[in-house]
Chain A
Protein backbone atom coordinates (compact mmCIF):
# COMPACT_ATOMS: atom_id res chain seq x y z
CA UNK A 1 0.00 0.00 0.00
CA UNK A 2 1.40 3.38 -0.93
CA UNK A 3 2.08 5.91 1.81
CA UNK A 4 -0.56 8.47 2.60
CA UNK A 5 0.13 11.82 0.87
CA UNK A 6 0.02 13.67 4.18
CA UNK A 7 2.98 11.67 5.41
CA UNK A 8 5.16 12.41 2.43
CA UNK A 9 7.78 15.13 2.88
CA UNK A 10 6.68 18.41 1.35
CA UNK A 11 8.30 19.47 -1.88
CA UNK A 12 9.80 22.93 -2.31
CA UNK A 13 7.08 23.91 -4.80
CA UNK A 14 4.22 22.86 -2.53
CA UNK A 15 2.14 26.03 -2.15
CA UNK A 16 0.51 24.88 1.08
CA UNK A 17 3.66 24.39 3.10
CA UNK A 18 5.67 27.02 4.85
CA UNK A 19 9.34 26.93 4.01
CA UNK A 20 11.72 29.12 5.88
CA UNK A 21 15.41 29.68 6.24
CA UNK A 22 17.19 31.33 9.10
CA UNK A 23 18.22 34.96 8.56
CA UNK A 24 20.25 36.64 11.21
CA UNK A 25 18.29 39.19 13.16
CA UNK A 26 16.66 40.01 16.45
CA UNK A 27 12.91 40.22 16.99
CA UNK A 28 13.62 41.79 20.42
CA UNK A 29 15.08 44.78 18.60
CA UNK A 30 11.99 44.82 16.38
CA UNK A 31 9.76 44.98 19.45
CA UNK A 32 11.86 47.72 21.08
CA UNK A 33 11.78 49.78 17.89
CA UNK A 34 8.01 49.46 17.49
CA UNK A 35 7.51 50.60 21.09
CA UNK A 36 9.78 53.61 20.53
CA UNK A 37 7.93 54.45 17.31
CA UNK A 38 4.53 54.50 18.96
CA UNK A 39 5.82 56.29 22.06
CA UNK A 40 6.85 59.08 19.68
CA UNK A 41 3.21 59.24 18.66
CA UNK A 42 2.01 59.51 22.26
CA UNK A 43 1.14 55.86 23.01
CA UNK A 44 1.57 54.98 26.69
CA UNK A 45 2.06 51.49 28.17
CA UNK A 46 -1.65 50.64 28.16
CA UNK A 47 -2.13 51.81 24.58
CA UNK A 48 0.90 49.80 23.53
CA UNK A 49 -0.17 46.63 25.32
CA UNK A 50 -3.54 46.94 23.57
CA UNK A 51 -1.68 47.14 20.26
CA UNK A 52 0.22 43.94 21.07
CA UNK A 53 -2.87 42.14 22.40
CA UNK A 54 -5.06 42.79 19.38
CA UNK A 55 -4.83 39.88 16.93
CA UNK A 56 -5.86 42.20 14.07
CA UNK A 57 -2.44 43.85 14.25
CA UNK A 58 -0.26 41.07 12.93
CA UNK A 59 3.11 42.75 13.44
CA UNK A 60 2.69 43.54 17.11
CA UNK A 61 0.54 40.52 17.90
CA UNK A 62 3.02 38.20 16.24
CA UNK A 63 5.72 39.50 18.55
CA UNK A 64 3.47 39.03 21.56
CA UNK A 65 2.97 35.41 20.50
CA UNK A 66 6.70 35.01 20.23
CA UNK A 67 7.62 36.51 23.59
CA UNK A 68 4.43 35.75 25.52
CA UNK A 69 2.20 38.37 27.19
CA UNK A 70 4.31 38.75 30.33
CA UNK A 71 7.63 39.31 28.65
CA UNK A 72 5.99 41.59 26.10
CA UNK A 73 4.61 43.78 28.91
CA UNK A 74 8.00 43.84 30.65
CA UNK A 75 9.75 44.81 27.45
CA UNK A 76 7.23 47.56 26.71
CA UNK A 77 7.73 48.98 30.19
CA UNK A 78 11.51 48.72 29.96
CA UNK A 79 11.60 50.65 26.69
CA UNK A 80 9.21 53.31 27.97
CA UNK A 81 11.33 53.70 31.10
CA UNK A 82 14.14 54.77 28.79
CA UNK A 83 12.42 56.79 26.13
CA UNK A 84 9.27 58.02 27.87
CA UNK A 85 6.10 58.87 26.00
CA UNK A 86 6.16 61.91 23.80
CA UNK A 87 3.06 63.98 24.44
CA UNK A 88 1.91 65.51 21.15
CA UNK A 89 -1.12 67.61 20.27
CA UNK A 90 -2.50 67.22 16.77
CA UNK A 91 -4.93 69.79 15.43
CA UNK A 92 -6.57 69.50 12.02
CA UNK A 93 -7.74 72.87 10.72
CA UNK A 94 -10.64 73.09 10.08
CA UNK A 95 -11.81 69.99 12.01
CA UNK A 96 -12.28 67.12 9.59
CA UNK A 97 -15.29 64.95 8.99
CA UNK A 98 -14.48 61.74 10.88
CA UNK A 99 -16.55 59.66 8.42
CA UNK A 100 -15.44 61.04 5.08
CA UNK A 101 -16.61 58.03 3.06
CA UNK A 102 -20.22 58.53 4.04
CA UNK A 103 -20.70 62.18 3.26
CA UNK A 104 -21.29 64.86 5.84
Chain B
Protein backbone atom coordinates (compact mmCIF):
# COMPACT_ATOMS: atom_id res chain seq x y z
CA UNK B 1 0.00 0.00 0.00
CA UNK B 2 2.64 2.43 1.12
CA UNK B 3 4.82 1.49 -1.80
CA UNK B 4 2.04 2.24 -4.27
CA UNK B 5 1.35 5.57 -2.65
CA UNK B 6 5.02 6.45 -2.70
CA UNK B 7 5.40 5.33 -6.30
CA UNK B 8 2.44 7.40 -7.39
CA UNK B 9 3.87 10.40 -5.70
CA UNK B 10 7.25 10.14 -7.41
CA UNK B 11 5.49 9.61 -10.71
CA UNK B 12 3.33 12.66 -10.11
CA UNK B 13 6.27 14.84 -9.32
CA UNK B 14 8.26 13.73 -12.34
CA UNK B 15 5.23 14.34 -14.53
CA UNK B 16 4.73 17.75 -12.99
CA UNK B 17 8.30 18.71 -13.67
CA UNK B 18 8.18 17.55 -17.27
CA UNK B 19 5.01 19.53 -17.83
CA UNK B 20 6.59 22.59 -16.32
CA UNK B 21 9.70 22.19 -18.40
CA UNK B 22 7.62 21.92 -21.56
CA UNK B 23 5.35 24.76 -20.54
CA UNK B 24 6.23 27.88 -22.47
CA UNK B 25 7.96 26.09 -25.27
CA UNK B 26 4.92 25.94 -27.50
CA UNK B 27 5.14 25.40 -31.23
CA UNK B 28 5.80 27.97 -33.98
CA UNK B 29 3.68 31.01 -33.30
CA UNK B 30 1.06 31.15 -36.01
CA UNK B 31 0.30 34.89 -35.76
CA UNK B 32 3.77 35.63 -37.11
CA UNK B 33 3.33 33.18 -39.95
CA UNK B 34 0.03 34.85 -40.79
CA UNK B 35 1.62 38.29 -40.87
CA UNK B 36 4.37 37.03 -43.14
CA UNK B 37 1.78 35.64 -45.49
CA UNK B 38 -0.29 38.80 -45.43
CA UNK B 39 2.60 41.09 -46.29
CA UNK B 40 4.11 38.75 -48.87
CA UNK B 41 1.14 39.48 -51.12
CA UNK B 42 1.83 42.66 -53.03
CA UNK B 43 -1.19 44.49 -54.36
CA UNK B 44 -1.10 45.56 -57.98
CA UNK B 45 -2.43 48.91 -59.07
CA UNK B 46 -5.95 48.65 -60.43
CA UNK B 47 -5.43 51.29 -63.10
CA UNK B 48 -2.64 52.16 -65.50
CA UNK B 49 -2.00 55.88 -65.35
CA UNK B 50 -0.01 55.84 -68.58
CA UNK B 51 -3.30 55.26 -70.45
CA UNK B 52 -4.95 58.47 -69.27
CA UNK B 53 -5.27 61.29 -71.82
CA UNK B 54 -5.03 63.93 -69.08
CA UNK B 55 -1.49 62.77 -68.32
CA UNK B 56 -0.36 62.71 -71.92
CA UNK B 57 -0.72 66.40 -72.62
CA UNK B 58 2.64 68.18 -72.32
CA UNK B 59 3.29 69.50 -68.78
CA UNK B 60 5.47 72.59 -68.56
CA UNK B 61 4.96 73.40 -64.88
CA UNK B 62 4.54 70.96 -61.96
CA UNK B 63 1.37 72.80 -60.92
CA UNK B 64 -0.21 71.56 -64.17
CA UNK B 65 0.39 68.00 -62.99
CA UNK B 66 -1.35 68.76 -59.72
CA UNK B 67 -4.31 70.20 -61.63
CA UNK B 68 -4.45 67.05 -63.74
CA UNK B 69 -4.41 64.84 -60.61
CA UNK B 70 -7.17 66.87 -58.98
CA UNK B 71 -9.27 66.69 -62.15
CA UNK B 72 -9.84 63.00 -61.39
CA UNK B 73 -8.96 62.70 -57.68
CA UNK B 74 -11.50 65.27 -56.83
CA UNK B 75 -11.08 66.68 -53.32
CA UNK B 76 -8.02 64.71 -52.37
CA UNK B 77 -5.95 67.86 -52.27
CA UNK B 78 -8.03 69.17 -49.39
CA UNK B 79 -7.05 66.09 -47.37
CA UNK B 80 -3.41 66.68 -48.18
CA UNK B 81 -3.73 70.30 -47.16
CA UNK B 82 -4.87 69.23 -43.71
CA UNK B 83 -1.88 66.99 -43.19
CA UNK B 84 1.27 67.72 -41.23
CA UNK B 85 3.26 66.89 -44.35
CA UNK B 86 1.75 70.03 -45.85
CA UNK B 87 1.33 72.34 -42.88
CA UNK B 88 4.50 71.37 -41.04
CA UNK B 89 2.56 72.16 -37.92
CA UNK B 90 0.19 70.43 -35.53
CA UNK B 91 -1.76 71.64 -32.53
CA UNK B 92 -0.62 69.79 -29.45
CA UNK B 93 -0.86 69.98 -25.71
CA UNK B 94 2.55 70.44 -24.10
CA UNK B 95 2.84 69.93 -20.36
CA UNK B 96 3.63 73.27 -18.72
CA UNK B 97 3.04 75.21 -21.92
CA UNK B 98 -0.55 74.45 -22.76
CA UNK B 99 -2.01 73.98 -26.20
CA UNK B 100 0.36 75.23 -28.86
CA UNK B 101 0.71 74.99 -32.59
CA UNK B 102 4.13 73.47 -33.00
CA UNK B 103 6.17 72.66 -36.04
CA UNK B 104 9.21 73.62 -37.96
CA UNK B 105 8.29 77.29 -37.74
CA UNK B 106 8.71 77.56 -33.99
CA UNK B 107 10.56 74.40 -32.92
CA UNK B 108 14.32 74.31 -33.31
CA UNK B 109 16.64 71.34 -33.47
CA UNK B 110 20.33 70.97 -32.78
CA UNK B 111 21.38 69.96 -36.30
CA UNK B 112 20.79 72.70 -38.89
CA UNK B 113 18.75 74.49 -36.21
CA UNK B 114 15.65 75.66 -38.08
CA UNK B 115 14.05 76.50 -41.39
CA UNK B 116 13.30 80.17 -40.86
CA UNK B 117 15.32 82.20 -43.32
CA UNK B 118 16.58 78.98 -44.90
CA UNK B 119 13.39 77.82 -46.59
CA UNK B 120 14.89 78.05 -50.04
CA UNK B 121 17.13 75.12 -49.17
CA UNK B 122 15.38 73.23 -46.35
CA UNK B 123 11.95 73.27 -47.93
CA UNK B 124 13.09 71.11 -50.79
CA UNK B 125 11.53 68.45 -48.60
CA UNK B 126 8.18 70.16 -48.27
CA UNK B 127 5.40 68.44 -50.23
CA UNK B 128 4.65 71.64 -52.06
CA UNK B 129 6.01 73.93 -54.69
CA UNK B 130 7.67 77.21 -53.81
CA UNK B 131 7.60 77.35 -49.99
CA UNK B 132 10.54 79.77 -50.16
CA UNK B 133 9.68 82.02 -47.23
CA UNK B 134 7.12 82.65 -44.49
CA UNK B 135 4.72 84.18 -47.01
CA UNK B 136 3.98 80.83 -48.65
CA UNK B 137 0.28 80.44 -49.43
CA UNK B 138 -0.83 77.24 -47.69
CA UNK B 139 -4.30 77.45 -49.26
CA UNK B 140 -3.24 77.25 -52.88
CA UNK B 141 -4.01 73.67 -53.82
CA UNK B 142 -2.04 73.87 -57.05
CA UNK B 143 1.14 73.98 -55.01
CA UNK B 144 0.50 70.51 -53.58
CA UNK B 145 3.26 68.22 -54.85
CA UNK B 146 1.51 64.91 -55.52
CA UNK B 147 4.56 63.44 -57.21
CA UNK B 148 6.97 63.63 -54.29
CA UNK B 149 5.02 60.84 -52.62
CA UNK B 150 3.33 59.10 -55.53
CA UNK B 151 6.07 58.86 -58.13
CA UNK B 152 6.75 55.19 -58.74
CA UNK B 153 9.36 55.71 -61.45
CA UNK B 154 12.11 56.66 -59.01
CA UNK B 155 13.09 59.54 -61.33
CA UNK B 156 11.38 62.40 -59.51
CA UNK B 157 13.78 64.63 -57.63
CA UNK B 158 13.37 68.08 -56.17
CA UNK B 159 15.90 70.77 -57.05
CA UNK B 160 18.63 71.75 -54.61
CA UNK B 161 17.79 75.16 -53.11
CA UNK B 162 14.59 75.09 -55.16
CA UNK B 163 12.08 75.52 -52.32
CA UNK B 164 10.36 72.30 -53.32
CA UNK B 165 10.28 72.71 -57.09
CA UNK B 166 11.24 69.66 -59.13
CA UNK B 167 14.71 69.44 -60.62
CA UNK B 168 15.09 70.48 -64.25
CA UNK B 169 15.99 66.93 -65.21
CA UNK B 170 12.54 65.61 -64.27
CA UNK B 171 10.26 64.55 -67.15
CA UNK B 172 6.92 65.46 -65.62
CA UNK B 173 4.91 63.43 -68.13
CA UNK B 174 7.03 60.35 -67.62
CA UNK B 175 6.55 60.60 -63.85
CA UNK B 176 2.86 61.49 -63.96
CA UNK B 177 2.15 58.37 -66.01
CA UNK B 178 3.91 56.19 -63.42
CA UNK B 179 2.26 57.14 -60.18
CA UNK B 180 1.01 54.80 -57.46
CA UNK B 181 1.19 53.97 -53.81
CA UNK B 182 4.21 55.51 -52.06
CA UNK B 183 7.15 53.18 -51.64
CA UNK B 184 10.35 53.39 -49.62
CA UNK B 185 11.99 55.53 -52.32
CA UNK B 186 9.41 58.28 -51.95
CA UNK B 187 9.56 58.50 -48.18
CA UNK B 188 13.27 57.87 -47.94
CA UNK B 189 14.21 60.67 -50.30
CA UNK B 190 13.38 63.09 -47.51
CA UNK B 191 13.22 61.03 -44.32
CA UNK B 192 16.54 59.26 -44.76
CA UNK B 193 18.42 62.51 -45.34
CA UNK B 194 17.12 64.77 -42.58
CA UNK B 195 19.78 67.08 -41.18
CA UNK B 196 21.49 67.49 -44.50
CA UNK B 197 22.84 64.05 -45.34
CA UNK B 198 22.28 60.35 -45.14
CA UNK B 199 21.31 59.13 -41.65
CA UNK B 200 22.40 62.42 -40.07
CA UNK B 201 19.33 62.82 -37.90
CA UNK B 202 17.57 59.59 -36.96
CA UNK B 203 20.24 56.93 -37.01
CA UNK B 204 17.61 54.31 -37.78
CA UNK B 205 16.41 55.81 -41.07
CA UNK B 206 18.91 55.85 -43.86
CA UNK B 207 19.58 54.92 -47.46
CA UNK B 208 20.44 51.32 -46.57
CA UNK B 209 16.67 50.92 -46.13
CA UNK B 210 16.01 51.50 -49.83
CA UNK B 211 17.08 47.92 -50.39
CA UNK B 212 17.85 46.36 -47.02
CA UNK B 213 18.90 42.83 -46.12
CA UNK B 214 17.17 40.97 -43.29
CA UNK B 215 20.07 41.79 -41.00
CA UNK B 216 19.40 45.48 -41.43
CA UNK B 217 15.63 45.37 -41.09
CA UNK B 218 13.45 42.28 -40.82
CA UNK B 219 10.35 44.09 -42.00
CA UNK B 220 11.67 46.02 -44.96
CA UNK B 221 14.10 43.34 -46.16
CA UNK B 222 13.80 43.18 -49.94
CA UNK B 223 14.31 39.42 -49.76
CA UNK B 224 11.74 39.12 -47.02
CA UNK B 225 8.40 40.75 -46.28
CA UNK B 226 9.69 43.76 -48.27
CA UNK B 227 7.41 46.03 -46.32
CA UNK B 228 7.07 49.62 -47.41
CA UNK B 229 6.92 52.57 -45.03
CA UNK B 230 3.19 52.95 -45.63
CA UNK B 231 2.50 49.36 -44.56
CA UNK B 232 2.96 50.54 -40.98
CA UNK B 233 2.54 54.26 -41.43
CA UNK B 234 -0.91 53.71 -42.84
CA UNK B 235 -2.98 56.66 -43.96
CA UNK B 236 -6.60 57.63 -43.82
CA UNK B 237 -7.53 60.52 -46.03
CA UNK B 238 -3.87 61.40 -46.39
CA UNK B 239 -3.35 61.65 -42.63
CA UNK B 240 -0.42 59.39 -41.91
CA UNK B 241 -0.11 57.32 -38.79
CA UNK B 242 3.09 58.02 -36.91
CA UNK B 243 4.92 60.98 -35.55
CA UNK B 244 8.29 62.18 -34.45
CA UNK B 245 9.04 63.54 -31.01
CA UNK B 246 11.33 66.19 -32.45
CA UNK B 247 8.20 68.12 -33.44
CA UNK B 248 5.24 66.60 -31.63
CA UNK B 249 4.43 66.06 -28.00
CA UNK B 250 1.27 64.04 -27.41
CA UNK B 251 0.73 60.34 -26.93
CA UNK B 252 -1.48 59.80 -29.94
CA UNK B 253 -1.29 58.79 -33.55
CA UNK B 254 1.67 56.51 -32.87
CA UNK B 255 2.62 53.48 -34.91
CA UNK B 256 3.12 50.62 -32.50
CA UNK B 257 4.44 47.11 -32.97
CA UNK B 258 1.44 45.88 -30.99
CA UNK B 259 -0.89 46.90 -33.82
CA UNK B 260 0.21 43.82 -35.72
CA UNK B 261 2.02 41.68 -33.17
CA UNK B 262 -0.34 41.97 -30.16
CA UNK B 263 0.81 43.06 -26.72
CA UNK B 264 2.08 39.63 -25.67
CA UNK B 265 3.60 38.02 -28.72
CA UNK B 266 6.13 35.71 -27.06
CA UNK B 267 5.68 32.04 -26.35
CA UNK B 268 7.53 32.62 -23.08
CA UNK B 269 5.69 34.18 -20.14
CA UNK B 270 8.79 35.73 -18.67
CA UNK B 271 9.34 37.64 -21.92
CA UNK B 272 5.69 38.61 -22.20
CA UNK B 273 5.81 39.99 -18.71
CA UNK B 274 8.59 42.35 -19.78
CA UNK B 275 6.20 44.05 -22.21
CA UNK B 276 4.52 45.89 -19.32
CA UNK B 277 7.60 47.96 -18.76
CA UNK B 278 9.81 47.43 -21.79
CA UNK B 279 9.00 48.57 -25.31
CA UNK B 280 9.47 46.02 -28.11
CA UNK B 281 12.14 48.22 -29.68
CA UNK B 282 14.34 47.98 -26.59
CA UNK B 283 15.17 44.32 -27.14
CA UNK B 284 14.50 44.01 -30.84
CA UNK B 285 16.69 46.88 -32.04
CA UNK B 286 19.98 45.96 -30.37
CA UNK B 287 21.96 48.33 -32.58
CA UNK B 288 21.13 51.20 -34.89
CA UNK B 289 23.03 52.99 -37.62
CA UNK B 290 23.79 49.47 -38.75
CA UNK B 291 25.23 50.32 -42.14
CA UNK B 292 26.18 54.00 -42.25
CA UNK B 293 27.15 56.39 -39.48
CA UNK B 294 24.81 58.87 -37.86
CA UNK B 295 25.71 62.18 -36.25
CA UNK B 296 26.09 62.08 -32.48
CA UNK B 297 27.69 65.41 -31.79
CA UNK B 298 27.67 68.67 -33.63
CA UNK B 299 29.78 71.58 -32.45
CA UNK B 300 28.71 74.78 -34.20
CA UNK B 301 31.21 76.86 -32.25
CA UNK B 302 34.08 75.84 -34.50
CA UNK B 303 32.28 76.81 -37.69
CA UNK B 304 33.58 79.64 -39.84
CA UNK B 305 37.29 78.80 -39.94
CA UNK B 306 38.73 79.53 -43.37
CA UNK B 307 41.88 78.47 -45.22
CA UNK B 308 43.24 81.21 -47.51
CA UNK B 309 39.89 82.92 -47.19
CA UNK B 310 38.08 79.82 -48.42
CA UNK B 311 35.82 77.40 -46.54
CA UNK B 312 37.06 73.82 -46.32
CA UNK B 313 36.11 70.33 -45.16
CA UNK B 314 37.96 67.61 -43.31
CA UNK B 315 37.14 63.93 -43.52
CA UNK B 316 38.19 61.00 -41.40
CA UNK B 317 39.78 57.85 -42.82
CA UNK B 318 36.36 56.40 -43.68
CA UNK B 319 35.42 59.47 -45.68
CA UNK B 320 32.91 61.02 -43.26
CA UNK B 321 33.00 64.74 -42.65
CA UNK B 322 34.43 65.67 -39.31
CA UNK B 323 34.79 69.37 -39.99
CA UNK B 324 33.07 71.75 -42.33
CA UNK B 325 33.64 75.49 -42.26
CA UNK B 326 29.94 76.05 -42.85
CA UNK B 327 28.74 73.78 -40.03
CA UNK B 328 31.49 73.12 -37.50
CA UNK B 329 32.82 69.84 -36.11
CA UNK B 330 31.03 66.50 -35.94
CA UNK B 331 31.29 63.17 -34.18
CA UNK B 332 29.67 60.25 -35.97
CA UNK B 333 28.89 56.74 -34.85
CA UNK B 334 28.00 53.47 -36.50
CA UNK B 335 26.53 50.22 -35.17
CA UNK B 336 25.58 51.89 -31.95
CA UNK B 337 23.90 50.59 -28.84
CA UNK B 338 21.04 52.97 -28.14
CA UNK B 339 20.63 54.91 -24.91
CA UNK B 340 17.57 53.97 -22.89
CA UNK B 341 14.99 56.09 -21.10
CA UNK B 342 11.57 55.81 -19.46
CA UNK B 343 9.06 57.22 -21.92
CA UNK B 344 5.28 57.56 -21.77
CA UNK B 345 4.67 59.02 -25.21
CA UNK B 346 4.56 62.66 -24.18
CA UNK B 347 7.23 65.24 -24.75
CA UNK B 348 8.03 68.87 -24.29
CA UNK B 349 9.93 71.15 -26.59
CA UNK B 350 12.11 74.16 -26.51
CA UNK B 351 10.11 76.71 -28.47
CA UNK B 352 11.55 79.80 -30.12
CA UNK B 353 11.94 82.55 -27.54
CA UNK B 354 11.98 80.28 -24.44
CA UNK B 355 14.67 81.44 -22.04
CA UNK B 356 17.50 79.09 -21.17
CA UNK B 357 20.20 78.66 -18.55
CA UNK B 358 23.55 78.63 -20.38
CA UNK B 359 25.30 76.90 -17.45
CA UNK B 360 23.17 73.80 -18.01
CA UNK B 361 22.69 71.42 -20.89
CA UNK B 362 19.50 72.45 -22.64
CA UNK B 363 17.10 69.70 -23.66
CA UNK B 364 15.65 70.74 -27.00
CA UNK B 365 13.01 68.07 -26.57
CA UNK B 366 12.29 66.36 -23.26
CA UNK B 367 10.73 62.92 -23.30
CA UNK B 368 8.69 62.26 -20.18
CA UNK B 369 8.37 59.03 -18.24
CA UNK B 370 9.29 57.13 -15.11
CA UNK B 371 9.02 53.66 -13.65
CA UNK B 372 6.13 54.65 -11.40
CA UNK B 373 4.07 55.90 -14.32
CA UNK B 374 1.97 52.99 -15.65
CA UNK B 375 2.05 54.44 -19.17
CA UNK B 376 5.83 54.46 -19.30
CA UNK B 377 8.08 51.87 -20.83
CA UNK B 378 11.79 51.71 -21.38
CA UNK B 379 12.56 52.89 -24.93
CA UNK B 380 15.75 53.06 -26.95
CA UNK B 381 16.80 56.53 -28.06
CA UNK B 382 19.55 58.21 -29.91
CA UNK B 383 20.80 61.25 -28.04
CA UNK B 384 22.20 63.96 -30.27
CA UNK B 385 24.40 66.46 -28.49
CA UNK B 386 25.43 69.82 -29.83
CA UNK B 387 26.89 73.18 -29.06
CA UNK B 388 24.71 75.74 -30.74
CA UNK B 389 24.42 79.48 -30.89
CA UNK B 390 22.33 81.49 -28.43
CA UNK B 391 21.73 85.10 -27.58
CA UNK B 392 23.95 85.70 -24.57
CA UNK B 393 21.96 88.67 -23.29
CA UNK B 394 18.41 87.63 -24.04
CA UNK B 395 19.21 84.05 -23.06
CA UNK B 396 17.44 82.25 -25.84
CA UNK B 397 18.49 80.16 -28.80
CA UNK B 398 19.26 81.91 -32.02
CA UNK B 399 17.80 81.00 -35.37
CA UNK B 400 20.71 81.93 -37.62
CA UNK B 401 20.36 82.59 -41.30
CA UNK B 402 22.51 79.96 -42.97
CA UNK B 403 21.54 79.80 -46.61
CA UNK B 404 22.33 82.70 -48.88
CA UNK B 405 19.50 83.41 -51.25
CA UNK B 406 20.54 86.87 -52.41
CA UNK B 407 24.10 88.19 -52.26
CA UNK B 408 24.69 90.05 -49.01
CA UNK B 409 21.60 88.72 -47.21
CA UNK B 410 23.67 87.51 -44.26
CA UNK B 411 23.66 83.77 -45.08
CA UNK B 412 26.38 82.25 -42.85
CA UNK B 413 27.30 79.62 -45.35
CA UNK B 414 28.60 82.37 -47.67
CA UNK B 415 29.59 85.19 -45.33
CA UNK B 416 30.82 83.26 -42.26
CA UNK B 417 29.80 86.14 -40.04
CA UNK B 418 27.74 85.10 -37.00
CA UNK B 419 26.61 88.65 -36.17
CA UNK B 420 25.06 89.07 -39.57
CA UNK B 421 23.61 85.57 -39.66
CA UNK B 422 22.04 86.04 -36.21
CA UNK B 423 20.65 89.43 -37.01
CA UNK B 424 19.06 88.33 -40.26
CA UNK B 425 17.85 85.02 -38.86
CA UNK B 426 16.23 86.57 -35.80
CA UNK B 427 14.47 89.10 -38.02
CA UNK B 428 12.78 86.17 -39.71
CA UNK B 429 11.39 84.88 -36.42
CA UNK B 430 10.57 88.34 -35.08
CA UNK B 431 12.75 88.13 -31.99
CA UNK B 432 15.20 90.79 -30.87
CA UNK B 433 18.90 90.03 -31.15
CA UNK B 434 21.19 91.63 -28.56
CA UNK B 435 24.33 91.39 -30.64
CA UNK B 436 25.95 89.16 -28.02
CA UNK B 437 26.13 85.49 -28.78
CA UNK B 438 27.60 82.37 -27.24
CA UNK B 439 27.36 78.63 -27.65
CA UNK B 440 25.27 76.47 -25.35
CA UNK B 441 25.28 72.70 -24.98
CA UNK B 442 22.05 71.09 -26.09
CA UNK B 443 20.60 67.59 -26.27
CA UNK B 444 17.92 66.04 -28.43
CA UNK B 445 16.20 62.69 -27.98
CA UNK B 446 15.30 60.57 -30.98
CA UNK B 447 13.35 57.37 -30.25
CA UNK B 448 14.72 54.44 -32.24
CA UNK B 449 11.98 52.49 -34.00
CA UNK B 450 13.38 51.09 -37.23
CA UNK B 451 16.07 48.56 -38.13
CA UNK B 452 14.39 45.77 -36.17
CA UNK B 453 16.76 42.82 -36.02
CA UNK B 454 16.28 39.12 -36.51
CA UNK B 455 14.92 37.57 -33.36
CA UNK B 456 18.15 35.64 -32.86
CA UNK B 457 19.96 38.96 -32.58
CA UNK B 458 17.65 40.53 -30.01
CA UNK B 459 19.13 41.76 -26.77
CA UNK B 460 19.89 38.84 -24.44
CA UNK B 461 18.88 38.70 -20.76
CA UNK B 462 22.34 39.21 -19.35
CA UNK B 463 22.96 42.34 -21.43
CA UNK B 464 20.69 44.16 -18.98
CA UNK B 465 20.53 41.79 -16.00
CA UNK B 466 24.14 42.26 -15.11
CA UNK B 467 26.03 44.15 -12.46
CA UNK B 468 28.54 45.81 -14.74
CA UNK B 469 27.91 48.04 -17.73
CA UNK B 470 24.51 46.66 -18.56
CA UNK B 471 22.48 48.36 -21.25
CA UNK B 472 20.09 49.64 -18.61
CA UNK B 473 22.79 50.62 -16.14
CA UNK B 474 21.57 54.21 -16.09
CA UNK B 475 17.82 53.59 -16.23
CA UNK B 476 16.67 54.23 -12.70
CA UNK B 477 13.70 54.13 -10.38
CA UNK B 478 13.33 50.41 -9.95
CA UNK B 479 14.96 47.20 -8.74
CA UNK B 480 16.21 44.98 -11.52
CA UNK B 481 17.32 41.42 -10.65
CA UNK B 482 20.92 40.78 -11.59
CA UNK B 483 21.78 44.48 -11.73
CA UNK B 484 20.66 45.66 -8.32
CA UNK B 485 21.30 44.28 -4.85
CA UNK B 486 21.57 45.47 -1.30
CA UNK B 487 25.23 46.00 -0.49
CA UNK B 488 24.67 45.38 3.21
CA UNK B 489 22.82 42.12 2.66
CA UNK B 490 25.45 40.92 0.22
CA UNK B 491 28.35 41.79 2.54
CA UNK B 492 26.69 40.21 5.57
CA UNK B 493 25.51 37.20 3.59
CA UNK B 494 28.91 36.47 2.14
CA UNK B 495 30.37 37.05 5.62
CA UNK B 496 28.07 34.48 7.20
CA UNK B 497 28.84 32.00 4.46
CA UNK B 498 32.59 32.45 4.83
CA UNK B 499 32.43 32.19 8.63
CA UNK B 500 30.45 28.97 8.27
CA UNK B 501 33.04 27.58 5.90
CA UNK B 502 35.93 28.56 8.17
CA UNK B 503 34.13 27.13 11.19
CA UNK B 504 33.48 23.86 9.42
CA UNK B 505 37.05 23.56 8.20
CA UNK B 506 38.57 24.37 11.60
CA UNK B 507 36.24 22.02 13.42
CA UNK B 508 36.89 19.23 10.96
CA UNK B 509 40.65 19.69 11.07
CA UNK B 510 40.63 19.70 14.86
CA UNK B 511 38.65 16.46 14.89
CA UNK B 512 41.11 14.80 12.53
CA UNK B 513 44.09 15.99 14.59
CA UNK B 514 42.56 14.81 17.87
CA UNK B 515 41.61 11.47 16.32
CA UNK B 516 45.18 10.92 15.04
CA UNK B 517 46.70 11.76 18.43
CA UNK B 518 44.37 9.41 20.22
CA UNK B 519 45.27 6.63 17.80
CA UNK B 520 49.00 7.27 18.40
CA UNK B 521 48.49 7.16 22.15
CA UNK B 522 46.76 3.81 21.82
Q: Are these two chains actual partners, yes or no?
A: no
Q: Which residues of B contact A (CB under 8 A)?
A: none
Residues of A within 8 A of B (CB): none
